[in-house]
Amino acid sequence: MSELDTQRLMVDGNFSWEPIPEGCLLYEETTGKLLTLNPTAEAILAHCDGELTGTEICRALETELEIPVSVTRDLLSRLRAEGVIGPVP
């Protein structure tokens, strides 16, 4: 079990996002980093509100959107590695 499973997660940094047909554009205003997220990653961000753990986000997306837990876990790890999400301090 990793920190993503047990800690509440939130968007980390000064990001803004803009919906696009393929998902959303995510812009980190401090560094100028620009990411294109698919709809699944966008749904994950919407759930990273500081209230839910990674496990809870996986369950929610499996129930709401029928996204396999393995897909959500992989995207959570990628978003964490990119510095987009992190644990609530």
Q: What is the pLDDT along the chain (89 residues), one digit of tens a residue?
A: 677 789 999 998 888 889 999 999 999 988 898 999 999 999 999 999 999 999 999 999 999 999 999 999 999 999 999 989 999 99
Q: CA 43 to CA 29: how far, in whole Å?
A: 21
How far apart are the C-alpha atoms of 88 and 85, rounded to whole Å?
A: 9
At residue 77, the 3 state secondary structure works out as helix
Instruction: Give me the CATH number covering residue 27.
Output: 3.90.930.60
Residue 89 lies in a domain: no
* Length reported for the chain: 89
pTM, full prediction: 0.89
Q: Is 23 helix (H, G, I), strand (E, B) or coil?
A: strand
CA distance 33 to 65: 28
- Number of separate domains in the chain: 1
Q: How far apart are CA 52 and CA 56, in angstroms?
A: 6
